[in-house]
Amino acid sequence: MFHGDFTLTSGKRASFYVDLRKVSLDHRVAPLIGQVMLDLIADVPGVSAVGGLTMGADPIATAILHQGAARGAVLDAFVVRKEPKDHGRGRQVEGPELAGKRVIVVEDTSTTGGSPLKAIEALEKVGAEIAGVAVVVDRSTGAREVIEGAGYPYLAALDLTDLGLA
C-alpha cells in the first residue's frame, strides 16, 4: 500500500493506493489469492469461468484458475478487453466460449464498481450468465451498492478494516 495523492481508475482521488498487482503477480502471494478467492466463490453454484476487465482482473482470474485446477475444480479464465479488438476476430472477450455459461466477474480492488460493470456489459453481449462479482479488496466506497443495485451478487475477500485503513 502506498500513501500520497492518487487518482484512481474511476477518476476519484485517494490518499492511499492499494496496488494489488504488487501481490497478485508475486509468486508467493498469487497462490494464496487464488485459494482465498476460490473459497469466496465456493458457494456460488454452476460457475464455469472467472475473469474480468483487463488488467486488474487478469492475475486474479489466473490465480483462481491454477488453484482451482490444483483442487480438481473445472474453472476456466477469461479476459475482457476495454474495447473490442480492431483486427483479427474483433473480440472483446477472450478465452473459452461463454454463451450460456455462468461466470464470476473478478477484480483486484473496486472503488465505484465501474470496471466490473463494463466487463458485465461485454459478457452479456456474448451470452454469458453473470453469477456475481468477486473482488479481493473492497475499498468501501460504494462499489458494493452499485453492483448489487444493478442486480448482481457482490463478494469481497477483504475490506479496508482488514487492511487497517478504516
Question: Residues 88-122: pLDDT tens digits?
Answer: 666 899 999 999 999 999 999 888 899 999 999 99
Q: Would you tell me which CATH number, out of the four given (3.90.550.10, 3.30.950.10, 3.50.50.60, 3.40.50.2020), belongs to the domain 18-159?
A: 3.40.50.2020
* Gap between the Cα atoms of 75 and 120, Å rounded: 18
* Gap between the Cα atoms of 48 and 78, Å rounded: 10
What predicted TM-score, i.e. pTM, was given to this entire model?
A: 0.87
C-alpha cell at 37: 478467492
Q: Quote the pLDDT of residue 88.
A: 62
Burial 65-95 (b: 16+ CB within 10 A, else e): bebbeeeeeebbbbbbeeeeeeeeeeebbeb
CA distances from 93 to 66, 86, 111, 121, 148 (A): 20, 13, 23, 11, 23
